[in-house]
Amino acid sequence: MILSDTRILENVRAGQIVIRPFRKECLGSNSYDVHLGTHLATYRNGTLDARLDNSVDEFRIPKDGFVLSPGQLYLGVTQEYTETHGYVPFLEGKSSVGRLGIDIHSTAGKGDVGFCNYWTLEMSVKLPVRIYAGMPIGQLIYFEISGKVANPYNLKRSAKYTKVSRRPMPSKMFANFGKRPASQRRGGPTK
């Protein structure tokens, strides 16, 4: 089930959901609006390698906005820092943003119980669009979870995105390489 506005507010007051800054006017009927932060990043190389720590160029969005171009991936970040304890957060684009042809994430809309950070956005556009820091960019939706979580994200040893940052975080897929399951290591599993 998706939390209603009253349930989101109850959980914010109880500390189960943290949103900083929290503005009551951003609370929708069953979501919370988040805003675009001040920084964007683009990958330096035209070809990315999943095994490498790909470099990015980071820049501040000017006061008069910045035009996103089709064919380019931009990493953005939310203004809001969030924590979710006991619920599964989903970040979706706002309909007004979608109607401008802006996608705010490729595949990473679902957070984990225990995620405590700013949200990195994987932004792309269909047409050139001028965007501004502070504009509404997405909405958080909270789902109830069935059962006790044994390993929340903020306590998971393998979690790659726990360092709190107001800046967009590039992919850390490279950290997955070299940690192959025993069945894939040379010689296979021991019996």
Domain that holds residue 101: 5-44+55-147
Asked if residue 157 is part of any domain, the answer here is no
| Angle (nearest 5°) at CA 38 between 33 and 42 | 105
DSSP state of 140: E
The closest alpha carbon to 61, from 79, 81, 82, belongs to 79
Averaged pLDDT for residues 168-179: 80
Confidence of residue 65 (pLDDT cuts 50, 70, 90): very high
Q: What is the pLDDT of residues 119-137, one digit of tens each?
A: 999 999 999 999 999 999 9
Check whether the bond before 21 is cis (ω within 30° of 0): yes
User: Which sequence positions are flagged as catalytic?
Assistant: 122
**Residue % of the chain over a pLDDT of 70:** 93
Asked if 74 and 41 touch (Cβ cutoff 8 Å), the reply is yes
pLDDT at 18 over 80: yes
pTM of the model: 0.86
Averaged pLDDT for residues 71-86: 96
Asked if residue 20 is part of any domain, the answer here is yes
> Total domain count for the chain?
1
CATH number of the domain enclosing 32: 2.70.40.10
